[in-house]
Structure 1
Amino acid sequence: MTKNIFVVGLNELNAERLKRLRGVEDVTFHPLLTPAQVSDTQDFDIPAMLEEAEARLDAFDGSIDAIVGYIDFPVSTMLPILCKKYGTPQASLESLLKCEHKYWSRKVMAEVIPDHIPKFTAFDPFDDDALSKIGEADLRFPFFVKPIKSSGSRLGFRIDSPEDFDYAIEKLRAEIRSIGEPFDHVLSQADIPDDIKAVEGHYCMAEQVIGGRQCTVEGYVHNGEVFPYGTVDSIRYPQVLSFFYYLYPSTLPKRVQDTMNEITRTIMAHIGYDNAGFNIEYYWDEVSNKIWLLEINTRIAQSHCDLFEMVDGVSHQQVTVDLGLGRKPDMPSGEGPENVAAEFFYRVFFNDATVARAPSRAEVEVAAEQVEGTRISSYVTRGSKLSDLPEQDAYSFAVASIWMGASKQSKLLWNYEQVMKKLNYEFTDIVE
């Protein structure tokens, strides 16, 4: 009997990935809301999106067997609401918010893994005394600030001086309500403690600077049991905060990965998160042998899908689909054609610019042909402004992503250089 799975924000690329999963011969995937509505925008009208999604589901003449997604806000926060209404498996809204509301998340972490989190406090960016209140919370320069709810690295800043803080506050005040207000709507649907209610959607976090070798542990919870299944290294450009590439499998020592997996099991079980995928970002400070938990994301990392397919034989969307259907994920290990795989980010470090030239579709295809199995996504077109790109960090713009595999890491880096020689981007109206 055919099973019907609705995928929020389904695009062409992921529709193809889903067809290659295990055990989907009897599954039909249906799009629910468009990528333009949920990811290619910074305007999130969650009540309207929920209303449209529910109308589509109500009108469907057939069984609704699963409702899934692989995108951060707003999709991740809408899924528990939709799944609860239509009776399909998913983590509860409250357990999800204990991960996604960064202040609530840190409070919960402090209960069971206090040695693995930095000093932190919440603050209102519209409070003119915010900096002094951060100081009263025993946070000194340098520290990081970020929204209590964001996606990617958007609106995250390292603060080394009062001038840095003023710059960050200007940016935060201008842009934070675009996520803060829709996040408030989600918070209003949940049963939240009073001290957390006081930290509204437009609030921010200040946190002690932590660092080291960064990675992401991908995992899921099935019927209360936590399963970490893969660790991906996050490697930055030299001297900056922007990511250069994600590498799978991780090169961290096994003992470090084992400890991270144990921390992962402890915190996810304590939160009560269940029947859904997640990933947790960590740092390992090699000098002090200290493991820091950076944040929890309530979804698989879409950027890692091709990496798992190249190395393990199937995209880890397998986890999302199997859990959505209420079954334990059939996620293989080491069955892919490559030993290592990466997603590289080609970035430019401008405040803004206009794209004077971008590679044509034919040029992108020629570049991809340099190394078998390579996939390239170019995010800009001639005449577009970099500041219009969604989901960017505070220091650079990713204009293309390149996914590729190889027999070893050094070969992977050499292959990337060969591909990039065929991609030509030019910019004008550059704001340094």
Structure 2
Amino acid sequence: MDEMGDNVFVLGADPHNRAVLDELAERRGYRIHGLLEMEELRDAHDRLPELLDDARRILDGFEGSVDAVIGFWDFPVRTLVPILCAERGLHSPSLESVVKCEHKYWSRREQREVTDAVPPFAEVPLEAEAPPPEVGYPMWLKPVKSFSSALAFRVTDDEEFREALGRIREGIDDLGSPFDWLLRRIDLPEAVARAGGSACLAEEEVHGEQVTVEGYVWRGDPVVYGVVSSATYPDSPSFLRYTYPSGLPGTVAERLADISERVVRRMGLDATTFNIEYFWNPGDDTLRLLEINPRHSQSHARLMAEVDGVPNHDHMVRLALGREPLLETGAGRHATAAKWFLRRFTDGVVRTAPGPEDIARMERDVPGTGAKVSAPPGTRLSRMPSQDSYSYELAQVFTAGRSDEDLRRAYELCLARLPFEIDEPDEDAAAGGEGG
């Protein structure tokens, strides 16, 4: 346990990820410390300088050594971590490499330099009346900076384009303005500087099976260690489940690894985990890169713990401490695992939701399962933060087993033990509280 005594600070540690880290800390011998609450960071995008000062005061006031600073979430967490680490000489990717990934237009320009697996795309000014000529319908319209698919819209004609752009204009400043503050700290290419943090990106729609490559960069060398498959609800872009391992043909996995390594090097990432989302079309065997994230997916942590024996959080901590990750593929208790998303596609107010007793009973009745309720009683679904543009997440359900059939059977058994009652929204219900 070479990490014995090291102090690891987590920027915006939420209860779920903190619990995973605490369990890892017992096994590895380091200590976990919180650094600002997630609520402070989520609701203070316009206070980035103050947040940095608050974090600095905590780190400066700590009596022991500060050996690593990490964070799981996107903006602003993932961009504040490199700033804090650079100031203290800690291991972290550079701010420029992280922003290069997170600015969707800049990221696409860089990806295009090293792979042809990039769909047609173009910057869209907020005042545009029609889409750019190089991108055809159907297309996706999204801000150059967003998270969890918020303000991302599929559009099929000019009327939908103008409607979607109008909705984006209404909400883009929540992230666009603070993102501009970060962009001013970096020497930007002219086209990216012109777009700034409050422009949009249009991308031609691509089709196929969505997969996510998980990897890390150690001393400049990217390493791909896993591929996760994603499935959506029928006739919807909202996720139904993630499955690990993906079960892709070996040749496809090799191509994914090759593209991923080239893109990661182009971005200049180092000392970090990463995940890259793709579409693979089995019909014509084409790959299309969706986006690159300069962090691992904490959504995959339990899946990898079930299959590989440790959550991917372990890789992040070791890199932040300046140590190479330890990989033991297939060392877990199960051959496959899945994370399911129970969703509702219309607004409502949650009247009843599964409680701790319901979840504990489910875990006893259906071994290898777990659940996390996202919408407790009193929640007005349309007011939940970080939802996609098409659905509301009620709960996450975890299953593990020997085969895909095991995963599906367990999920069906879990649903019967996780009852929700949701009322149609009205004025009285809307005043009843936001929850979540």
TM-score strictly above 0.5: yes
> 2:97 aligns to what?
95
Q: Deviations over 1:202-249 (max 9, x none)?
A: 111001111211000001111011101000001111111100000000
Moved more, 357-366 or 116-125: 357-366
Q: Which residue of 2 aligns with 1:57?
A: 59
Q: Which one-letter code corresponds to 2:338 in the other structure?
A: A
Q: Percent identity?
A: 37
Which one of the candidate residues 132, 136, 142 is aligned to 1:135? 132
Residue 389 of structure 1 corresponds to: 384
2:323 matched to 1:322? no
Are the aligned partners of 2:369 and 2:410 in contact in 1 as well (CA < 8 Å)?
no
- In 1, Cα distance between the equivalents of 2:399 and 2:12? 25
What does residue 197 of structure 1 align with? 193
Distance across 1 between alignment mates of 2:25 and 2:35: 22
Structure 1: distance between partners of 2:95 and 2:26: 28
In structure 1, the partner of 2:18 is: 15
- Provide Cα deviations, 1:169-221, integer angstroms capped at 9, x if missing partner: 23212211111111111111222122211111111100111121100000111
Q: What amino acid maps onto 1:21 in structure 2? A: L
- Comparing 282-291 with 372-381, greater Cα deviation is found at 372-381
Q: Report the CA distance shift for 1:418/1:48 in structure 2 as closer, same or farther (over 3 A).
A: same
Structure 2 residues not aligned, in runs of 5+: 427-436
Partner Cα distance (1:404, 1:161) in 2: 40
Assess if the C-alpha contact under 8 Å between 1:20 and 1:314 holds in 2.
no
Name the structure 1 match of 2:432: none
Q: Deviations over 1:350-401 (max 9, x none)?
A: 1x22112222222232223332232211011222211221111111001100
> Cα gap change, 1:294/1:264 in structure 2, threshold over 3 Å: closer, same or farther?
same
| Structure 1 match to 2:433 | none
Shift of 1:23: 8.6
Deviation at 1:298, TM superposition (A): 1.0
- Residues 364/24 of structure 1: CA separation in 2 closer, same or farther (3 Å cut): closer
The total of aligned residue pairs comes to 423
CA contact (8 A) 1:338 1:406 kept: yes
Read off the aligned partner of 2:373 and give its amino acid letter.
S
Deviations 1:296-320 (A, max 9, x none): 0111101000000000000011110
Counterpart-to-counterpart distance in 2, 1:135 and 1:83: 40
Give the secondary structure class of the aligned counterpart of 1:198. Answer: helix
Distance apart, 1:34 and its partner CA: 0.9
Residue 335 (structure 1) aligned to one of 325, 331, 335: 331
Distance 1:26 1:337 in 2: 23
Taking a change above 3 Å as real, the CA distance of residues 369 and 292 of structure 1, as seen in their structure-2 partners, is same
Structure 2 vs 1, CA of residues 96 and 171 (structure 1 numbering), >3 Å: closer, same or farther? same
Give 1:11 deviation, angstroms: 2.8
* Correspondence 1:2 to 2:5: yes
Contact 1:22 1:330 in 2 (8 A): no
**4+ long deviations beyond 6 Å:** none
Equivalent of 1:289, from 276, 280, 285?
285
Q: Which runs of 5+ in 1 are unaligned?
A: none
| Residue range with higher mean Cα deviation, 190-199 or 409-418 | 190-199
Instruction: Verify: 1:258 aligned to 2:259, yes or no.
Output: no
Which residue number in structure 2 is paired with residue 373 of structure 1? 368
CA distance in 2, matches of 1:29, 1:276: 18
For residues 30-73 of structure 1, give each alpha carbon's deviation from its aligned partner in whole angstroms, at most 9, with x where no partner exists. 0011122234x475532222111111111111111100111122
Displacement after TM superposition at 1:24 (Å): 5.4
What is the deviation of 1:99? 0.9
Q: Is the 8 A contact 1:371 1:415 kept in 2?
A: yes
Q: What is residue 278 of structure 1 aligned with on the other side?
A: 274
Aligned to 1:105: 107
**Partner of 2:279: helix, strand, or coil?**
strand
Q: Is the 8 A contact 2:145 2:175 kept in 1?
A: yes
1:407 and 1:167 map into 2 onto residues whose CA distance is 46
- Counterpart secondary structure, 1:383: coil
Q: Which whole-Å CA distance do the structure 2 matches of 1:89 and 1:23 have between them?
A: 22
Query: In structure 2, what residue type is equivalent to 1:112?
Result: V
Of 24, 27, 31, the residue aligned with 1:28 is: 31
Superposed counterparts of 1:217-228, under 5 Å: 217-228=213-224
- 1:65/1:394 Cα in 2 relative to 1: closer, same or farther (>3 Å)? same
Query: In the TM superposition, what is the alpha-carbon distance from 1:430 to its structure 2 partner?
Result: 4.2
CA contact (8 A) 2:141 2:165 kept: no
Residue 250 of structure 1 and its aligned partner are, at CA, apart by 0.4
> What letter is aligned with 2:37?
T
Partner amino acid, structure 2, of 1:135? P
Contact 2:25 2:32 (C-alpha < 8 Å) held by counterparts: no
Post-superposition CA distance 1:319-369 (Å, at most 9, x none): 10000001111132101001100110000011x221122222222322233
Paired with 1:94 and 1:237, the residues of 2 have a C-alpha distance of: 36
Asked whether 1:408 is paired with 2:410, we answer no
- Listed one character per residue, the Cα deviations across residues 284-303 of structure 1 (whole Å, up to 9, x for unaligned) are 11112111011001111010
Cross-structure match for 1:86: 88
Q: Is the 8 A contact 2:362 2:417 kept in 1?
A: yes
What is aligned with 2:162? Answer: 166
Counterpart of 1:406, as a letter, is G
User: Which residue identity lines up with residue 418 of structure 1 in the other structure?
Assistant: L
- Distance of 2:75 and 2:105 partners within structure 1: 16
Residue 418 of structure 1, aligned match among 398, 410, 413: 413
Residues in 2 aligned to 1:143 and 1:280: alpha-carbon distance in whole angstroms: 20
Tell me how far 1:12 sits from its aligned partner. 2.9
Q: What residue identity is the alignment partner of 2:356?
A: R
1:15, CA displacement in angstroms? 2.5
SS of residue in 1 equivalent to 2:140: strand
Amino acid at match of 1:166: R
TM-score after normalising by structure 1? 0.94
Q: Measure the CA separation in 1 of the matches of 2:396 and 2:52.
A: 31
CA distance in 2, matches of 1:99, 1:421: 41
1:367 touches 1:420 (CA, 8 Å); kept in 2? no
Partner of 2:422: 427
